[in-house]
């Protein structure tokens, strides 16, 4: 009788724990970007945050959603990808508005060719539809250009996935690319910090939340027997997070003299 009572109590507790873990997976990945978003909005300075972080996460989560159509993993992981895509678009919108408002006399760049009536871009008579100048890729002047790029990537990758969905090799490779791309999330920030010899402008809270969230996520993958790609790349992601935290310690304890740059470097070039 007593054992039955204990079991009756454990069942709802386990259910609540399961719901809590699922909720943490869905929304936990968004939490680290809240302090960074607030910091950029308050200071009107986006130099410390690499917009390529948004690119990495957008690509990774779009590929993960496509992977779901070939191998139906847990729903919380699918919803996590949807929420993350929305979050990264919001981050891009804010960063673009802040960066453009701080730029002076800088030629406007766009993903799609500008209209002939656009006064900001004096283009030659003949111009290709897309601007693939690698020096300005993912450094456009309007949020709509980022949206167009994301939609183009989604359409092309979605069509390829539709054609090869019956191939188990393609599906497994797609899943690996999705989680491996996400595992490289911190690399743009790691490289930017190395270039600047500083972590100024980067939210340390964001990186600490990255580390704790990625650790939780990796344990979740292992315990719930998620596809093996998820667990392997989760461990790699934790390693990159730790490397960024090491930069925070090194650059604060042993500050290095920043390299000289021309005037307004952030207005003409940014990661």
Please write the tens of the pLDDT for every residue from 140-189: 888 999 999 999 999 999 999 999 999 999 998 998 898 888 888 778 77
Model confidence, pTM: 0.71
pLDDT at 133 over 70: no
Query: What's the pLDDT at 89?
Result: 96
User: 201: helix, coil or strand?
Assistant: coil
Q: What pLDDT, on the 0 to 100 scale, is given for residue 269?
A: 29
- Six-digit token pair at 163? 């054609």
Q: Please give the Cα distance from 175 to 171 (Å, whole number).
A: 6
Question: Greater confidence, 52 or 128?
Answer: 52
Q: Buried b / exposed e across 170-194, counting CB within 10 Å, b at 16+? A: ebbebbbbbbbbbbbbbbbbbebbe
Mean pLDDT of the chain: 77
Q: Report how far residue 150's alpha carbon sits from residue 36's, in angstroms, rounded to the nearest whole number.
A: 22
Q: What torsion do the CA atoms of 181, 43, 193, 189 make, to the nearest 10 degrees? A: 0
- The confidence band for 73, taking pLDDT boundaries of 50, 70 and 90, is confident
Greater confidence, 50 or 266? 50
Q: Are 62 and 157 a contacting pair, CB within 8 Å? A: yes
Predicted pLDDT at 213:
80
Are 61 and 114 a contacting pair, CB within 8 Å?
Answer: no
Contact predicate 202/74, CB 8 Å: no
138: left (phi over 0), alpha (psi -120 to 50) or beta: left
pLDDT of residue 128: 44
Rounded Cα gap, residues 67 and 73, in angstroms: 9
pLDDT of residue 185: 75
Structure tokens at 14: 């386990």
State the pLDDT confidence band at 202, using cuts at 50, 70 and 90. Answer: confident
Is pLDDT above 90 for 138?
no
Domains in the chain: boundaries: 8-107+134-168, 185-255
Q: What dotted CATH number matches 185-255?
A: 1.20.1280
């Amino acid at each position: 009788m007593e054992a039955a009572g204990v079991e009756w109590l454990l069942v709802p507790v386990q259910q609540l724990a399961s719901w809590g873990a699922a909720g943490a997976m869905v929304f936990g990945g968004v939490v680290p970007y809240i302090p960074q978003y607030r910091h950029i909005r308050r200071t009107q300075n986006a130099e410390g945050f690499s917009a390529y972080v948004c690119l990495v996460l957008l690509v990774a989560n779009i590929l993960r959603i496509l992977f779901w159509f070939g191998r139906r993993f847990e729903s919380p992981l699918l919803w996590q990808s949807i929420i993350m895509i929305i979050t990264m678009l919001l981050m891009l919108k804010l960063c673009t508005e802040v960066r453009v408002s701080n730029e002076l006399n800088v030629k406007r760049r766009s993903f799609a060719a500008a209209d002939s009536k656009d006064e900001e871009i004096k283009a030659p008579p003949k111009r290709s539809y897309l601007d693939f100048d690698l020096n300005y890729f993912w450094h456009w002047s309007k949020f709509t250009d980022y949206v167009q790029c994301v939609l183009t990537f989604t359409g092309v990758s979605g069509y390829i996935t539709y054609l090869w969905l019956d191939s188990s090799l393609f599906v497994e490779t797609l899943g690996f690319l999705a989680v491996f791309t996400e595992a490289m999330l911190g690399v743009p920030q790691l490289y930017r910090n190395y270039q600047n010899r500083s972590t100024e402008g980067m939210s340390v809270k964001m990186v600490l939340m990255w580390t704790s969230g990625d650790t939780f996520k990796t344990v979740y993958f292992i315990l719930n027997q998620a596809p093996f790609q998820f667990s392997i790349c989760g461990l790699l992601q934790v390693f990159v997070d730790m490397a960024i935290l090491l930069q925070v310690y090194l650059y604060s304890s042993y500050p290095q003299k920043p390299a000289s740059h021309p005037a307004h470097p952030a207005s003409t070039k940014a990661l």
